[in-house]
Amino acid sequence: MLVPTVVLSGIGLLSGLGLALAARAFAVETDPRQDRITEALPGANCGGCGFAGCGDFAGAVVRGDAQPDGCPVCDQETRRLVAAIVGQTVQDRAPRVALILCQGGDDVAAKKYRYNGLASCASAALLGGGDKTCGAGCLGLGDCQRACAFGAVEMTPSGVARIIPARCTACGQCVAACPKDLIKLVPAEATIHVLCSNHDRGPAAKKACAVACLGCKKCEKSFAEDPRIKVADFLAYIDYEHAPDDPALAALCPTGSLVCSGAAAPAAERTS
Amino acid sequence: MKFRGGVHPSYHKDTAGLQIETLPLLHRYVVPIAQHLGAPGKVLVAKGDRVARWQPLSEPVGFVSVSVHAPTSGTVKQVAALPHPLGRPMLAVEIESDGEDRPWDGLAPPADWRTLDPAVLRRAIQAAGVVGLGGATFPTHVKLSPPAEKKIDLLVLNGAECEPYLTADHRVMLEQAAEVMEGLGLMMRVLGVTRACVGIESNKPDALEALRRACPADVAAEFMLLETKYPQGSEKHLIYALCGRRVPPGGLPMDVGCVVQNVGTAVACLEAVRDGLPMTERVATVTGAAINVPHNLRVRVGAPLLDVLAHCGGVTPDVGKVIFGGPMMGIGQFDLDVPLIKGTSGVLCLRDDEAARFEGGPCIRCGACVDACPMGLVPSAMGLIAERFRFEELGDWHVLDCIECGSCAYVCPSRRPLVQHFKRGKAEWRGILEERRAKSERDAKRAETAATA
Amino acid sequence: MTLEPGTGPDGAPTEPATPVADPITPQDLIVSASPHVHAGQDVPWIMRQVLLALLPGLLVGLWFFGLGALRVLVVAIAGCLACEWACARLVKRPATLRDYSAVVTGVLLAMNLPSGCPWWLVLIGSAVAIGLGKAVYGGLGYNPFNPALVARVFLLISFPVQMTTWVVPQGPGTALDAATGATPLGAIKEAVGLGRTVAEAGAPGLRDLLLGNVGGSFGEVSALALLLGGLWLLWRGVIRWQVPVAFMAVTALVTGVAHLADPAHHASPLVHLLGGGLMLGAWFMATDMVTSPVTRRGLLIFGAGCGLLTAVIRLWGGYPEGVSFAILLMNAATPLIDRWTRPRVFGEARQLYREADAA
């Protein structure tokens, strides 16, 4: 009994010693600032900064390859802290949130064929742009949902993606994941949005989707002097630098593509 | 020589006995500008222009580019983005036919290819807008212009037609045997080769016999009956089957001294030179259980699908899929207004219950796909990688060597959409390569500026 | 859209095409990536073939071991199906009972158990097979080890007494509390261990080994019936020949050499081939697609490894039987074998065409 105990303990001790020595001998020199930055960062490793993770980003900041405010996720406090560690200052930035510019679920948007294959938007989009008749419609297969490290994307029962603003950190991963380019980062305090990306003329757009922007310009006309909403190429868009906030504006829209409040209200509710 | 892998789908060559019929003149044609691999041409006509048959509608921009020509005389109704067989609307010229079918007066005069210089022949082939009719639609003159350092010694004529259902090439070989063989002679002259191999699958011995009998004395061609196995008509596998040369991964047939041309392309080349006629028509098989009257049709390029289907008696109510090309590599269509184009070797209408569904169950590692892959890849492993979106690993598995023949998905008992995985994977992997290249370029530039500073 | 009469290329008016009532609206058409047809096999088909192939062995087992075997079989199948359903519920995935894979696992597990083992043992085995053998890895297709074998080995180690109490086959009337005896390989091992020779062990003759009139797990006894099923699978293209052939060949080779060297203490290779679980293992367990390599070369290596390990365990190991351990060990080596035996990409070989030209 004694011999094996001693032998095993001995082996354990030796191995531990070896490891400790190896850690010393082969230690990689890191800038202490890198560790401090890594600690300050959210640690979600979402990749929103364009680097492999928070540690990688911290290294890049120390080397000067990344701006200290390059983390899109962390709050202003943290940004300032990170900048202070490398002896820089950062400008304040308005918080942003991702927005899906489509609300064409299966209940309102027409389909041009029956899709069979992978449940991935990027793969479906290779087949004639996807099954939605609207060329700029959400395919509802959830590439953005899978890309989101914060669980901030949900799929509505009618099969269109929706952002949960409270969870969104504006890291931008969903923006990159959407093959139809339907996701945009907008100022979090903006309340009026055009939730459509269809550039077709009115009749074609209407045929494709009941909640499409027809380019009718009703909204634009209410801002005749001050172009906060403009219609270009049959699609209204909002100048978020001077975002309008009048809830009455949304009532002008005949299809409900123009919505009020940060979270997109379900299209069905608005049109009824 | 037999290549490894491949599958034996049911061939359904039911239309093999049907003579080629010419589709009557239609009222309307939609001619996409991009019908070939390479740069689309520059449009030469505008709305309201009167055009004549065979008149060029576009001119090539650059070397890997060809013109498209008016299929009949009439008026240009619009030049706009219109439905295209590849799925997305693309620039096309819509022509309203005037019923006269008046030929263009600018046609090249008929000429004898035996007396013409290869360079002249090449120009004539490009001007006629000839592209490979096997389906890939690579401009033929480019394939016939190998770089000087690649010594070509063998022209392979592809009469394999390994896709199930399609019989267009078969009928061309039977009915236009003399023209096929003369076209082969012409292409041999362009390439300056003295040896040609004609490869035909063993289910078409009559085609081989017809070609052998029609072979002119001055065309030195060897004929070979090949195993009936899909994808026997793939360039790499055809070359291997005929002469045992293996095209290296990422390489082209010219890397082993070969050029492969389809039988229909041979006829088109001949017509371009002998008659001075541009390529405005092709033979396509309209078949499948969901079409009422199957046909081998000579169709003018630009004929809308709906009119072609109507000529064949329409589709049955249980139609589930309309495919341009064969069932293994064809492209599913959803807009019946798409035109048939130069690369459309057939229109296949499958019943709803015939059309395979790829629901994508879990891989059970049965290895059927590994046995089936003619390229020696491991589709099972690649599918699992692509499923997890780890596209950067796909390069190690030679995803770019995948020829998308569909053999793996065809045999997969779990009905995994493997080809769809690989199409996406190839695109993503190319993107990654491009990104790496751009990054290394940026780094090099930065290092350079740092060194000079 | 209708067609109006036009004129043919020769100027003559063509007959008007009949206006076709358009039966398709585009949104009815399916669009998917190529290919658009399929060979027809699917996973349930494969599993049904396996079940069909197991039938002869199963029937022989039921014949010889009677009600006890039937009880084991029913409990195992029911247990596996229930477990599969429960595991699917647990991870909130649709239940995959319809692919028959749980049934196959249940039948294989039952066939690997002694007919006299208590029902709770079978239930534990089912739970281990589906739960620990399959579900924890993510279900069908992701398990590295053959679920039925995981369960068998788990039971063998945890309940050695119940798992090695073999009922003596007495035909359909075999009572539930029938007399017990030894398996052929067990008898030989025991005799040799006691210093006697193989001949003195009183092992059954070849005819009994072929037909299955011997002690053992109830599904492994009849080499002939199992071989029949295996050949059926081979003929249907469900399994590939590499695994069973390599497995049996290497086992026969190694045990044959041992037998030649020392016939008194090592049984003949025929006894090794026909006795014990080798037939069941080589044709039905080692050929499990999920847990064996995907390339044919890999399968050959895999089968040979199984054969070698089986022979080594049987000849020199503590257990009289080594098929389960051998297969499980080779299951573990499968990813490695897959790496080694990746096929060569077409054209990757040295450029043969120069030689072809010279010829």
- The reply to whether B146 and B267 lie within a common domain is yes
pLDDT digits (tens, 9 = 90+) for A168-207: 988 888 999 999 999 999 888 888 888 999 998 888 898 8
Among the partner residues C17, C36, C296, nearest to B332 by beta-carbon distance: C36
pTM for the full predicted model:
0.88
Q: What is the pLDDT of residue C4?
A: 39
Among the partner residues B87, B360, B421, nearest to A127 by beta-carbon distance: B87
Among the partner residues B243, B330, B362, nearest to C141 by beta-carbon distance: B362
Q: Is the pLDDT of residue A226 over 70?
A: no
The residue out of B240, B274, B308 marking a domain boundary is B274
Q: Which of residues 28-47 of C touch A (CB under 8 A)?
A: 28-33
pLDDT digits (tens, 9 = 90+) for B160-203: 999 999 999 999 999 999 999 999 999 999 999 999 999 999 99
Contact A126 B423 (CB under 8 A): yes
Which chain C residue lies closest to A119 (C-alpha atoms)? C32
pLDDT digits (tens, 9 = 90+) for B87-141: 889 999 999 999 999 999 999 899 999 999 999 999 999 999 999 998 788 999 9
Q: What is the pLDDT of residue C67?
A: 86
Share of chain B above pLDDT 70, in %: 100
Contact C35 B327 (CB under 8 A): yes
Q: What is the pLDDT of residue C359?
A: 39
- The reply to whether B226 and B308 lie within a common domain is no
Which residues lie across from A39 on neighbouring strands?
Answer: none
Among the partner residues B88, B357, B423, nearest to A116 by beta-carbon distance: B357
Among the partner residues C3, C42, C345, nearest to B413 by beta-carbon distance: C42
- The reply to whether B423 and B396 lie within a common domain is yes
Q: How confident is the model at residue A261 (pLDDT cuts 50, 70, 90)?
A: low
Q: Is the pLDDT of residue B345 over 90?
A: yes
Residue B153 lies in a domain: yes
Q: What is the pLDDT of residue B48?
A: 94
Q: How confident is the model at residue B447 (pLDDT cuts 50, 70, 90)?
A: confident
Contact A112 B420 (CB under 8 A): no
Which chain A residue lies closest to B331 (C-alpha atoms)? A127
Task: With beta carbons under 8 A apart, name residues in chain B contacting C138.
Answer: 362
Residue B1 lies in a domain: no
Q: What is the pLDDT of residue C349?
A: 62
CA of residue C229 relative to chain centroid, distance: 11
- The reply to whether B91 and B206 lie within a common domain is no
Contact C39 B365 (CB under 8 A): no
Interface of A with C (CB under 8 A): 110-117, 123, 126-128, 131
Contact B87 A116 (CB under 8 A): no
Mutation to test the A interface, candidates C24, C27, C36, most A Cβ within 10 Å: C27
- Mention every residue, 6+ apart, whose C-beta is less than 8 A from residue A15: none
* pLDDT digit string (tens) for chain C, length 359 residues: 333 334 444 444 444 444 444 556 666 899 999 999 999 899 999 999 999 999 999 999 998 888 889 999 999 999 999 999 999 888 888 777 888 999 999 999 999 999 888 999 999 999 999 999 999 998 889 999 999 999 999 999 999 888 888 888 877 666 666 677 778 888 888 888 888 888 777 777 888 888 888 888 888 889 999 999 999 999 999 999 999 999 999 999 999 999 999 988 888 999 999 988 999 999 999 999 999 999 999 999 999 999 999 999 999 888 888 999 999 999 999 999 999 999 989 887 654 444 444 43
- The reply to whether B40 and B186 lie within a common domain is no
Residue B443 lies in a domain: no
CATH number of domain containing B126:
3.40.50.11540
A223 backbone dihedrals φ, ψ, rounded to 5°: -120, 45
Total number of domains in chain B: 3
- The reply to whether B123 and B247 lie within a common domain is yes
pLDDT digits (tens, 9 = 90+) for B290-326: 999 999 999 999 999 999 999 999 999 889 999 999 9
Task: With beta carbons under 8 A apart, name residues in chain A contacting C27.
Answer: 110-114
Task: With beta carbons under 8 A apart, name residues in chain A contacting C30.
Answer: 113-116
Contact A128 B427 (CB under 8 A): no
Which chain C residue lies closest to B338 (C-alpha atoms)? C26
Distance from CA of C166 to the nearest CA of B (A): 34
Q: What is the pLDDT of residue C354?
A: 45
Among the partner residues A111, A112, A116, nearest to C32 by beta-carbon distance: A116
Contact A113 B358 (CB under 8 A): no
Q: Is B204 within 8 Å of B15 (Cβ atoms)?
A: no
Q: Is the pLDDT of residue B226 over 80?
A: yes
* Distance (Å) of CA C340 to CA A186, C71, C146, C297: 51, 44, 21, 9
Residue B232 lies in a domain: yes
Q: What is the pLDDT of residue C357?
A: 44
Residue bearing tokens 């599958």: B7
- Mention every residue, 6+ apart, whose C-beta is less than 8 A from residue B125: B140, B141, B144, B190, B269, B272, B273
Q: Which of residues 153-212 of C touch B (CB under 8 A)?
A: none
- The reply to whether B203 and B306 lie within a common domain is no
Contact A117 B420 (CB under 8 A): yes
Q: Is B425 within 8 Å of C54 (Cβ atoms)?
A: no
Q: Is the pLDDT of residue B333 over 90?
A: yes
Q: Over C66-133, what HEC string results?
A: HHHHHHHHHHHHHHHHHHHHHHHHHCCCCCCHHHCHHHHHHHHHHHCCECCCCHHHHHHHHHHHHHHC
Distance from CA of B39 to the nearest CA of A (A): 20
Q: Once rounded to an integer, what is the mean pLDDT over residues A152-167?
A: 91
Q: Is C170 within 8 Å of C66 (Cβ atoms)?
A: yes
Distance from CA of B250 to the nearest CA of C (A): 9
Q: How confident is the model at residue A269 (pLDDT cuts 50, 70, 90)?
A: very low
Q: Rounded distance, CA B312 to CA B310, Å?
A: 5
Q: What is the pLDDT of residue C351?
A: 44
Distance from CA of C25 to the nearest CA of B (A): 9
The residue out of B248, B274, B300 marking a domain boundary is B274
Q: What is the pLDDT of residue C178?
A: 65
pLDDT digits (tens, 9 = 90+) for B39-63: 899 999 999 999 999 999 999 999 9
- The reply to whether B192 and B147 lie within a common domain is yes
- The reply to whether B247 and B156 lie within a common domain is yes
- In this structure, of A253-267, B365-379, B392-406, C325-339, the range with the lowest mean pLDDT score is A253-267
Q: What is the pLDDT of residue B28?
A: 95
Q: How do strand B90-97 and strand B28-32 relate by DSSP bridges?
A: antiparallel
Mutation to test the A interface, candidates B389, B415, B423, B439, most A Cβ within 10 Å: B389
Q: Rounded distance, CA B437 to CA C128, Å?
A: 51
Nearest to C49 by CA among C224, C283, C222, C275: C283
Task: With beta carbons under 8 A apart, name residues in chain C contacting B297.
Answer: none
Q: Which domain holds residue B216?
A: 114-274
Q: What is the pLDDT of residue A229?
A: 83
Note the ipTM here: 0.90
CATH dotted code for C43-340: 1.10.3430
Contact B364 C7 (CB under 8 A): no
Contact A127 C31 (CB under 8 A): yes
- The reply to whether B148 and B267 lie within a common domain is yes
Interface check C25 vs A, CB under 8 A: no
- The reply to whether B372 and B416 lie within a common domain is yes
Q: Is the pLDDT of residue B24 over 70?
A: yes
Distance from CA of B378 to the nearest CA of C (A): 7
| Chain A adjacent subunits, 3+ CB pairs under 8 A | B, C
- The reply to whether B341 and B394 lie within a common domain is no
Nearest to B235 by CA among B401, B398, B118, B7: B401
Q: What is the pLDDT of residue A263?
A: 41
